[in-house]
Amino acid sequence: MNQIGSMPSWAIWAVLAFFILVMAGIIFIRSKRGKDNLHRGTTAFASPYTLWMIIFTVLPCLLIGYYAFTDSTGTFTLQNFAHFWDSNYAKNELYMQYGPEAAALIRRGTVNVDTLTYSLWMALLCTIICLILAYPTAMIMADRELKMSSAIVVLFVVPMWMNFLLRTIAWMSILEDQGLINQLLSALGMPKAQLMYNNNAVLLGMVYNFLPFMVFPIYTVLGKMDYKLHEAAQDLGANSFQTFIRVTAPLSLPGVISGITMVFMPSVTTFFIPRILGGGNTMMFGDLIESKFLTEGDWNVGSALSLIMMVLILISLGILRKADPEGEGGGLM
């Protein structure tokens, strides 16, 4: 189903007109703000980034919004969001047309809502586990008296040089029935364990892949922290635990919030990890969106689901801005 080809001409012209207006607005603003050479130079350097964001962020969002609020003919509708609430919406519409006898067969489908709930739960577990593992690790990495801290940083960075897909596939050779763990169990005379194709395998893959995105924001904040504050707290009679609760934890909160955001949202939308480590037995919201686009060819419902996901992302970013208005915890290094 060629959705692009079915887009009415007015929508294409509207997108192009928006693009032209944005570019004209940027040029106008730049001409009005030319106060000094430094400012003009900074604006000039930012122009390619602005153009990139317009083409690859703003325009795709506009297209998602267009498909989410229209049907296959380009007519405005809110039924795409009804498909999210009721996965049997199309089938139930047909039953209603066939009279009272068929209407008795109407049942609300909860696949989409259940998938989102499951994805949020798995993402919450992944975020909690990552936070529990990442915070003490970040404290060790930020310890200036520990000589191994730099080596630990390298150990976290090196796996990120490898492709995300390869890192996930590598876990198959460890967890599968003939994998390293089960071979070790067999060598010890113990029965093999079913480590693949379940929720635990999916959760393990998510934690492994997203843990660095929790570690580095916390490490960045802790590394910038003035340790004279710790000395001052100890001079005032605070022990190590009280110093952590009253000084370290509050000051590291921006990094924690940043890490939670950077782990939680990708965890909700991930789709490759459940497919490989879950073996098709688990489906997350990212898998659902992908199936709507690629398998069913229903770009309108897929866009509606994507828009719902975007709203969750905006809410998450809003929380981040409230807890970390200066963006102090946002860096990976």
Give the CATH number, domain containing residue 215.
Answer: 1.10.3720.10
pLDDT computed for residue 25 by the predictor: 60
| Residues in CB range of 40: below 8 A, 6 or more apart | 30, 34
239 and 169 both lie in a single domain: yes
Q: 194 and 273 share a domain? A: yes
For residue 284, tell me if it sits in a domain. Answer: yes
Domain-embedded: residue 105: no
Strand partners, 70: 76
- Residues of the chain predicted below pLDDT 50: 1-2, 4-5, 34-38, 329-333
Residue 218 lies in a domain: yes
Q: 14 in a domain, yes or no?
A: yes
DSSP bridge pairs for 76: 70
Q: What is the pTM of this model?
A: 0.78
Last residue of a domain, one of 32, 57, 77: 77
Residues 50 and 118 occupy one common structural domain: no
Do 59 and 186 lie in one domain? The reply is no
Range of the domain at 213: 111-323
Residues 58, 162, single domain; the answer is no
Q: Are residues 69 and 119 in the same domain?
A: no
The predicted structure's pLDDT at residue 332: 42
Same domain, 247 and 305: yes
Tell me whether residue 102 is in a domain. Answer: no
Whether residue 209 lies inside any domain: the answer is: yes
Residues 46 and 118 in one domain: no
Q: What is the pLDDT of residue 331?
A: 43
**Listed residues 77, 95, 119: the one ending a domain:** 77
Instruction: Evaluate whether residue 160 is within a structural domain.
Output: yes
pLDDT of residue 38: 45
Same domain, yes or no, for 190 and 44?
no
Check residue 309 and give its pLDDT. 85
Q: What CA–CA distance (Å, rounded) separates 333 from 325?
A: 19
- To the nearest whole number, what is the mean pLDDT of the chain? 80
Domain assignment present for 328: no
Q: What local confidence, expressed as pLDDT, does residue 13 receive? A: 56
Query: What pLDDT sits at residue 92?
Result: 75
- Among the candidates 21, 53, 77, a domain finishes at 77
Is residue 143 located within the same domain as residue 271?
yes
pLDDT at 207: 94
Residues 6+ apart with CB under 8 A from 6: 72, 73, 74
Total number of domains in the chain: 2
Residue 330 has a pLDDT of 44
The answer to whether residues 196 and 143 belong to one domain is: yes
Give the model's pLDDT for residue 206: 93
Domain match, 24 and 141 both: no
